[in-house]
Amino acid sequence: MLAIAQSHQSEYSMSTTIQEQPTSLSEVNVYDPEDGSFIASVPRATCTDVEAAISRAVVSRELARAMSTYSRTAILQKTSELIQGRLEEFATTIAREGVKTIREARKEVFRCTQTFRFSAEEAHRLNGQTINFDQRLGSENRTGYFFREPVGIVVAITPFNDPLNLVAHKVGPALAAGNVVILKPDHATPLSALLLSRTLAEAGLPRDVLQVLVGYGSEIGMSLISDPRVRMVSFTGGRETGEIILRSMGLKKVSMELGGNCPTIVLNDADLAQAVPDCVSGAFWAAGQNCLHVQRLLVQDGIYNEFVERLLAATGTYKMGNKLNETTDMGPLINQSAALRVEAAVIDAMQAGARLLTGGRREGNFYAPTLLENVSLSTSLYHEEIYGPVTVLERVASLDEAIDKANGVDFGLQAAIFTRDLSSAFNAIRRLECGSVMVNGSTDYRDDSMPFGGVKGSGIGREGVPFAVLEMSEPKVACFNL
């Protein structure tokens, strides 16, 4: 079945013109969210394809385990180099099928090259150590060590917003640790993953060590996650789906990043020349469809008015439009349903007393960069993840108040603070309930080697290449009685 991309090197039909939408129960059609134009059709996986893919993965598992560290490192490094050499092809694919502008897409491609380079480096760092068994009385003649083994079959489920690098964050570490991978990219943006699959094959990855299934979670998701032969599920997506996976997957390892409602604190002593552009970028990057999106700005009284004035001026220059235009800053939401959802959340907040500072306009799948204040704590816009270009401003009297408000939602992915005072920075680092705290930068920052993940409703486990490699491997002990 051609839904198994790397196994059969499936091709997809490409179109660069708007045309009548094809219909087929055996295909997934990919459309440009900017104008609804048809881009490509790819084979649509069924539960039968899932069974076939897992059966092939069982066979190829021993092949993956037997690959030398040298081979895994060489393949991952070669993949990084091939992607770098095809940067424009990858970037155009990302921009056309997804929500990013061409400039945003190029940055994602560059990060993907780093992710595979880091994965290559971690492949030869996956070591164990000796164990002093003779520290136990009666074990004077025992010696041994532990080493790390791959978990086996990893199912990776990825979202639409970073259709290349979030795939790389699961595939790269899994291969570095010696696993086989079955990847299900978001059905709206599968082309970047398929292009990456073919690139890995060209770099020398053996057949069936990576398989790509393009389909709908409602149709094939349960078959993928519940099969006992699958030993780990790595999922990035919404919290509701994450909870369904946890209830259904059975006894296996899991890593989940489930989004956030990220707060950025701006204190009176902040450098506004640094804070304002960072917050604007963090608020509207990828049209806010980003788990690190600056959703809440908690600004101290003394600079609130000046900060808002500067933020509005900077937001006013943000250009929304054609994703492939080099001057465009922000593209569309992924589909009409997403745009209508964001629009409804803003309307609901305004009906509850919020004041619209700028934006609040929808044009098709585009939603203008939007800033609001006086948003009620009872609204979804305040305590849920908006996943759109909407940011809430709130005035606070002190750092203590800001921290209390920041912690007042059931998410804890990342938080940020702008301040010149080290004591304030360390106070925030200690007390903010989240996986990472950015000091003098907005929440929208991630290095691909740092431990990435959250607390509370934001997920389980940590990604970031070195940490994902550990999550995707298991220690095994060898003990000798001499």
Six token digits for residue 431: 């007390």
- For residue 407, the number of C-alpha atoms closer than 13 Å in the C-beta half-sphere is 13
For residues 243 and 404, what is the distance between their CA atoms, to the nearest angstrom?
Answer: 27
What pTM was computed for the model?
0.93
DSSP codes joined into one string, 386-428 = --SSEEEEEEESSHHHHHHHHTSSSEESEEEEE-S-HHHHHHH
Give me the catalytic one of 27, 34, 104, 257. Answer: 257
For residues 317 and 151, what is the distance between their CA atoms, to the nearest angstrom?
Answer: 49
Give me the catalytic one of 112, 262, 279, 291. Answer: 291
CA angle (288 as vertex; 357, 88 as ends), nearest 5:
130
Which domains, and CATH codes, for the chain? 5-258+459-481 (3.40.605.10), 262-447 (3.40.309.10)
Task: Identify whether 343 is a catalytic site residue.
Answer: no
Q: Would you give per-residue pLDDT tens digits along the chain (482 residues)?
A: 334 444 433 334 333 322 334 445 799 999 999 999 999 999 999 999 999 999 999 999 999 999 999 999 999 999 999 999 999 999 999 999 999 999 999 999 999 999 999 999 999 999 999 999 999 999 999 999 999 999 999 999 999 999 999 999 999 999 999 999 999 999 999 999 999 999 999 999 999 999 999 999 999 999 999 999 999 999 999 999 999 999 999 999 999 999 999 999 999 999 999 999 999 999 999 999 999 999 999 999 999 999 999 999 999 999 999 999 999 999 999 999 999 999 999 999 999 999 999 999 999 999 999 999 999 999 999 999 999 999 999 999 999 999 999 999 999 999 999 999 999 999 999 999 999 999 999 999 999 999 999 999 999 999 999 999 999 999 999 999 99
CB burial readout 398-430, b (16+ within 10 A) else e: ebebbbebbbebebbbbbbbbbeeeebbebbee
Q: What is the pLDDT of residues 141-165, one digit of tens each?
A: 999 999 999 999 999 999 999 999 9
Q: Which of 124, 109, 90, 92 is nearest to 16 (CA)?
A: 92
Q: What is the pLDDT of residues 180-204, one digit of tens each?
A: 999 999 999 999 999 999 999 999 9
Task: Identify whether 257 is a catalytic site residue.
Answer: yes
